Structure 1
Amino acid sequence: MDMRQKDPEPAEASGASSPAAGNRLQRKITAMTAHLPSNTIGALWILLAAVLFSMMVTLIKLLGQDLSVFQILFVRQGLMLLIVAPKILSGLPTSLATKRPGLQLIRIVIATTAMLMGFTAVIELPLADATAISFSKTFFVTIFAIWLLGETVGVHRWGATIIGFLGVLLMLRPDGEGLVDPYAMLALAGAACAGMVMIVVRMLTRTDAPVTILTYQAFGVGLIMAVPAFLTWQAPTLEQWGLLLLVGVISWAAQMCNIQAFKAGEATAIASLDYTRLLYATFFGALVFNQWPRLETLIGAAVIIAASIYTVRREAKRGRELARAADARGYSN
């Protein structure tokens, strides 16, 4: 049932706290949409998040022509850490108190790997291709949930997973000698790591506060990136500094919009709208880089999206909670 909800509190799912300007904008948007059904509000937030995520990867692809992915990631994480610093600092020492430090470390390493692979694929592949392949993380979540969480998966969900992977294989499109674009494989590996991160976050939320999870991720990824960023550092131009600043701010804003979407609306009603990112990626890829997706990419993406939506709808009918949660998003974006 679509029920009207109260005005959302500041997003606790991520432990993030927006700046004063962000709070004012959020209150203004809340006031403007107060008369709308909650699922409609959620849909508007997730559509905005999809646009912002697409803008983010477009900027990363532009910067990647001259700067290393390590440098981009390091600056991005540093800027995001500055934005959420007030929430982290106000929560001390609770924001650093974890009952599972080993699992926190594992998550940091996997999240770093996911972002490195995903961003490298974005830089080297057409935007639409990299975006479409990233959707396969939904099916890796199914596999990892069985392995790590002991979830029981029925024939319908297995069928959707297999069909989804067929869509992935179609997008990878081996050449006449059976070889696959290495960057496409990198995008697929990044999606697998992103799926693993979602499962690990789900495990961590059983014992640790969201702000704690965010703190370790924000600081840990930046720390890992520090050395390779230093070794590959190139002095950015003024224009590049501006783009790097935009990447950090837009990354934070996109994740906040995504969180607000899942706070306002039902996941089963709005999750499929996230796939509009493929449309935006196609648009930005054609506009900025004059790159168009291959026919195989579009067909494969359609198969993945259809299988994903089927899985979400069926799980909703069975009354089970999917691993795809608002606070588990954004680690590969």
Structure 2
Amino acid sequence: MTDPIKTPQPAERPNPEFRRRRAANRIRTYLNQLPANTIGALWILLAAFLFSIMVALFKFIGQDLSVFQILVVRQSVMLLIVAPKILGGLPGSLATKRPGLQVTRVLFASGAMLCGFTAVVEMPLADATAISFSKTFFITIFAIWLLGETVGVHRWGATIVGFLGVLLMLRPDGEGFIDPFALLAIAGAACAGMVMIVVRILTRTDPPVTILTYQALGVGALMLIPAIMTWQPPTLSQWGLLLVIGVISWAAQMANIRAFKSGEATAIASLDYTRLLYATIFGALIFSQWPRLETLLGAAVIITASIYTVRREAKRGRELARAADGRGYTN
């Protein structure tokens, strides 16, 4: 008796989970082969995109809810996400040798967020974003004042040119009126510049997790009382947007940190200015707001002067901003 003919069976296909893992490994292997600056560039482009989405959502929901309320929920969501890192570092994450500077950083970070986000809500998105780039020049001034840095004619020249770009964006109207929210945006940029200087000092004595802990707790605490006073019960969709803002803010910060850990600041920092492109697109598509010609020209001046400053200081072996972990949640 002959054996029956066996029908060939198709080869067993790998399950979906195996295929996903294999694809992830291939992507990871490919990325690991890229130059460090290329990886950093990819991360900072992602961070710029995420920050731009977060700011656009903030502007959208800020039409109905107060900035205080949004910031409290945002900080709370971010705090919950980083809580394992903070709790895992206790009691070291609360041990600081410079408590006064920690408080100073919290105050200026709160000012940066409050002024910056209020300007975002009230101004065209591209205008507020462009003015925020003046932070680089405030860092120069505060570094001279607080760190005793010596600044040469080239850096002073770039700083003056950058401020001329800011003045171009603030050009008064025929009656000499300057938009008060534009001034608020500049105040936010100045506070953000001070935060970077304070962080540079703090990292000499305190670890990044400590700086992160005080900022995460301090900013939320400062915003709590005014948030309660201006609280309006969010709808279900608004709660969803608030949670998304918190998660995207955390993801953007992490991408920013990974960018400056992977690549050289001088090679990738200029890519952060792609935020202006995203802000222009989102402002036009979502809010039907186009930037003024003065804004675009002023932004071009600021960006050019900023890139020149960063690259020149790199040639001299100096840093305008400290390492990634100290950047904290200032955006």
What TM-score, normalized by structure 2, do the two folds share? 0.91
Deviation at 1:304, TM superposition (A): 0.3
| Residue in 1 that maps onto 2:92 | 94
| 1:134 partnered with 2:143 | no
Deviation at 1:271, TM superposition (A): 0.4
Q: 1:197, 1:331 within 8 Å by CA — same for their partners in 2?
A: no
CA distance in 2, matches of 1:86, 1:270: 30
Task: Give the one of 19, 32, 35 matched to 2:33.
Answer: 35
- The total of aligned residue pairs comes to 309
Counterparts of 1:1-333 in structure 2, within 5 Å, are 30-323=28-321, 325-329=323-327, 331-333=329-331
- Seen in structure 2, the aligned counterparts of structure 1 residues 30 and 225 have a Cα distance that, compared at 3 Å, is farther
Give identity over the alignment, percent.
80
Q: Which amino acid aligns with 2:239?
A: W
| Corresponding residue SS for 2:289 | coil
Deviation at 1:323, TM superposition (A): 2.4
Q: 2:105, 2:195 within 8 Å by CA — same for their partners in 1?
A: yes
Q: Which amino acid aligns with 1:221?
A: V
CA deviation map 1:202-250 (0-9, x unaligned)? 1100110100000000000001111111111111111101100010000
Deviation at 1:325, TM superposition (A): 4.2
| Residue in 2 that maps onto 1:3 | none
Q: 2:284, 2:290 within 8 Å by CA — same for their partners in 1?
A: yes
CA deviation map 1:70-98 (0-9, x unaligned)? 00000000000000000000100000000
Q: 1:115, 1:331 within 8 Å by CA — same for their partners in 2?
A: no
Q: 1:114, 1:331 within 8 Å by CA — same for their partners in 2?
A: no
- Seen in structure 2, the aligned counterparts of structure 1 residues 29 and 121 have a Cα distance that, compared at 3 Å, is farther
CA distance in 1, matches of 2:66, 2:260: 33
CA distance in 1, matches of 2:255, 2:26: 14
| Corresponding residue SS for 1:293 | coil
Q: Which amino acid aligns with 1:291?
A: Q
- Seen in structure 2, the aligned counterparts of structure 1 residues 239 and 175 have a Cα distance that, compared at 3 Å, is same
CA deviation map 1:145-184 (0-9, x unaligned)? 0000000000000000000000000011111232210000
| Corresponding residue SS for 2:177 | coil
CA distance in 1, matches of 2:327, 2:54: 15
Deviation at 1:32, TM superposition (A): 4.1
CA distance in 1, matches of 2:84, 2:67: 27
Deviation at 1:31, TM superposition (A): 3.7
Q: Which amino acid aligns with 2:109?
A: A
| Corresponding residue SS for 2:32 | coil
Q: 2:215, 2:329 within 8 Å by CA — same for their partners in 1?
A: no
| Corresponding residue SS for 1:50 | helix
Deviation at 1:119, TM superposition (A): 0.4
Q: 2:215, 2:328 within 8 Å by CA — same for their partners in 1?
A: no
CA distance in 1, matches of 2:182, 2:146: 26
CA distance in 1, matches of 2:27, 2:222: 37
- Seen in structure 2, the aligned counterparts of structure 1 residues 27 and 230 have a Cα distance that, compared at 3 Å, is farther
| Corresponding residue SS for 2:290 | coil
- Seen in structure 2, the aligned counterparts of structure 1 residues 295 and 33 have a Cα distance that, compared at 3 Å, is same
Deviation at 1:319, TM superposition (A): 1.2
| Residue in 1 that maps onto 2:10 | none
CA distance in 2, matches of 1:327, 1:298: 32
Q: 1:60, 1:123 within 8 Å by CA — same for their partners in 2?
A: yes
CA distance in 1, matches of 2:322, 2:86: 24
CA deviation map 1:49-87 (0-9, x unaligned)? 000000000000011000000000000000000000000
**Alignment gaps of 5+ in structure 2:** 1-22
- Seen in structure 2, the aligned counterparts of structure 1 residues 196 and 67 have a Cα distance that, compared at 3 Å, is same
The structure with the larger Rg is 2
**Alignment gaps of 5+ in structure 1:** 1-24
Deviation at 1:320, TM superposition (A): 1.3
CA distance in 2, matches of 1:95, 1:174: 47
CA distance in 2, matches of 1:209, 1:325: 12
Deviation at 1:293, TM superposition (A): 0.4
Q: Which amino acid aligns with 1:186?
A: L
Q: 2:211, 2:328 within 8 Å by CA — same for their partners in 1?
A: no
CA distance in 1, matches of 2:220, 2:145: 29
What TM-score, normalized by structure 1, do the two folds share? 0.90
Segment drifting more, 181-190 vs 27-36: 27-36
Q: 2:200, 2:322 within 8 Å by CA — same for their partners in 1?
A: no
- Seen in structure 2, the aligned counterparts of structure 1 residues 305 and 29 have a Cα distance that, compared at 3 Å, is farther
CA distance in 2, matches of 1:118, 1:223: 18
Q: 2:49, 2:278 within 8 Å by CA — same for their partners in 1?
A: yes
Q: 2:112, 2:188 within 8 Å by CA — same for their partners in 1?
A: yes
Please, what is the CA RMSD of the aligned residues? 1.5
- Seen in structure 2, the aligned counterparts of structure 1 residues 28 and 245 have a Cα distance that, compared at 3 Å, is farther
